Amino acid sequence: MTGLDRFSVNQMTVRQLSLPELVAACAESGIGKVGLWREPVQAYGLRETAALVRSAGLEVTTLCRGGFLTATAPAERAAALADNRLAVREAAALGTDTLVLVSGGLPPGGKDLGAARERVADALAELAPYAEEHGVRLAVEPLHPMFAADRCVVSTLAQALDLAERFPAHQVGVAVDTYHVWWDDQAPAQIARAGAGGRIHAFQLADWTTPLPAGVLNGRGRLGDGSIDLRAWCGRVAAAGYTGPVEVEIFNEDLWARDGREVLKETAELFLEHAGG
Amino acid sequence: MTGLDRFSVNQMTVRQLSLPELVAACAESGIGKVGLWREPVQAYGLRETAALVRSAGLEVTTLCRGGFLTATAPAERAAALADNRLAVREAAALGTDTLVLVSGGLPPGGKDLGAARERVADALAELAPYAEEHGVRLAVEPLHPMFAADRCVVSTLAQALDLAERFPAHQVGVAVDTYHVWWDDQAPAQIARAGAGGRIHAFQLADWTTPLPAGVLNGRGRLGDGSIDLRAWCGRVAAAGYTGPVEVEIFNEDLWARDGREVLKETAELFLEHAGG
């Protein structure tokens, strides 16, 4: 397919495919970019994955994901930092310059979102220079406010930028995912702010469909199936100066139940229809 | 129980109780205020409900709910306006001065949240003077952003106030519900804005618990069970000058499966523990 130069498929969209299957399916569909996840990469082997994508000429656009930096207990906090340093090294080994961070939720019994965000800032201060040494930049991803308690205390692009701007742009930026920010009337201005600062380090697409499933994690919509004006959001990041890859990242049980190669091909087609060109 | 002067139980919290059961249970527990819902009131009879609460000396703090004002089709829009005028008359008949409005979601295939909010504004322009004639004020309730597509295009207090402030405060204000605004770092400032303008027309409490159930509507937590610092939010509305009733409104299948009188008593106790005093 033509028009897929900037298209990247996030591994989660077709998580039913093994890494060799994913690489083969990308070749079949003319897809040159993938966003990878740590767990399947670790399961297949970091070195093996790096060799596999390199030999196929696939570009790794992001590694998902580090983060979960909100613990208060010192041992838990130290473990999280160590794990994020490992994630940085994994990103470097895979040849991607971008590690996406999901901040983490409130600690057990916790009720203070602002204090949790400050712990994220403290962790970034330790991780950002380490990442730079490895040629990796951190992308703080705001998740939809429905995840504020249990997954990510950073709910808006404004909050993500408030964190990122404490550091140089080549160390820390943000990940813009339409699924998480589409409802936010402040997001367009924040995208402009992020672009002006050179801080849009990743851009991801998924559509918003309802009803949400239990747990609300795996109900993202295929491009065009939902309520998000995807082309308008693509235009906003473009107007902010972003020219990088556009990752499609969809968590959806129905898609995972289907043939992965078919889903990949369809995802690329829907990208062209709703976001490309 | 003492300390319940400002406590109001929203009917949905104990929807398993019939209206006479609810009135009796309130008397048992020393509860003097209720927030009512249109559907059960209509089922029992408007006149009959008004007589029932009046004879029991119960104060009706709000009627929930009008709204759903985002349709584009003229016939649907006219029907929504007519239904909201009926809701205004129902509120007046029940002796409450506050009709809570849930704005409505995107129309089928719609992707423009801003345009939908403008249609809400247009509808308010027709409804607000009508409500005033009946001694009723409208309370625009922002719902959590997870409802933006299918239930309420007004997701933040800032958006609700932007709508309300086009009208006099005695016509249109906002409803502040901790469940919907707790994640929003702008909400404290918006509560101050609302209070300064005399626009906090309702204040409701529910806690945020996870995992969310499918459909995400009926997973609200009992006070103290979740991630919300309820006492802090009570302090914010108090600091903004709000001295009105505090409604506890919990949509929760587990609570609905229990004995309603027991749930009512427990709800009042949890109010005293987590929000009262």
Please give the share of chain B, as a percent, with pLDDT higher than 90.
98
Arithmetic mean of pLDDT over chain B:
97
- Mean pLDDT over B159-180 rounds to 98
Give the whole-angstrom CA distance, residue B7 versus residue B4. Answer: 5
Residue of B nearest to A224 (CA): B109
* Cβ neighbourhood burial of B185 (10 Å; 0-12, 13-18, 19+): middle
Which token pair is B102?
């849930």
In a domain, A1, yes or no: no
Give the whole-angstrom CA distance, residue B254 versus residue B219. Answer: 9
Dihedral pair phi/psi, residue A112, rounded to 5°: -115, 95
Does ipTM surpass 0.90 in this model? yes
Q: Can you give the pLDDT at residue A231?
A: 97
Residue of B nearest to A229 (CA): B111
CATH code of the domain in which B197 resides = 3.20.20.150
pLDDT tens figures, B202-242: 999 999 999 999 999 999 999 999 999 999 999 999 999 99
Collect the ranges in chain A with pLDDT lower than 50: none
- A228 contacts in chain B (CB < 8 Å): 111
In a domain, A82, yes or no: yes
In a domain, A163, yes or no: yes
Q: Can you give the pLDDT at residue A170?
A: 98
Report which DSSP code applies to A131: H
- To the nearest whole angstrom, how far is the Cα of A178 from the nearest Cα of chain B? 13
Number of domains in chain A: 1
Q: Can you give the pLDDT at residue A276?
A: 82
pLDDT tens figures, A69-110: 999 999 999 999 999 999 999 999 999 999 999 999 999 999
Residue A150 and residue B229: Cβ atoms within 8 Å?
no
- B148 contacts in chain A (CB < 8 Å): 182-183, 227
Report which DSSP code applies to A171: T
Phi-psi region at A135: left, alpha or beta (left = phi > 0; alpha = psi -120 to 50): left
The pLDDT-based confidence of B276 (bands split at 50, 70, 90) is: confident
In a domain, B135, yes or no: yes
In a domain, A2, yes or no: no
Q: Can you give the pLDDT at residue B49?
A: 98
**Beta-sheet strands, E only, within B131-223:** 137-140, 172-177, 200-205, 207-208, 220-221
Residues 6+ apart with CB under 8 A from B74: none
- To the nearest whole angstrom, how far is the Cα of A75 from the nearest Cα of chain B? 23
Q: Can you give the pLDDT at residue B277?
A: 61
Residue A149 and residue B212: Cβ atoms within 8 Å?
no
Q: Can you give the pLDDT at residue B2?
A: 80
Q: Which domain holds residue A239?
A: 7-274
Give the whole-angstrom CA distance, residue B111 versus residue A2. Answer: 27
pLDDT tens figures, A184-204: 999 999 999 999 999 999 999
Chain A residues with CB under 8 Å of a chain B CB are: 106, 110-114, 144-146, 148-150, 155-156, 159, 182-185, 208, 210-216, 226-229, 232
Residue B216 and residue A113: Cβ atoms within 8 Å?
no
The residue whose two tokens read 């403008």 is B118
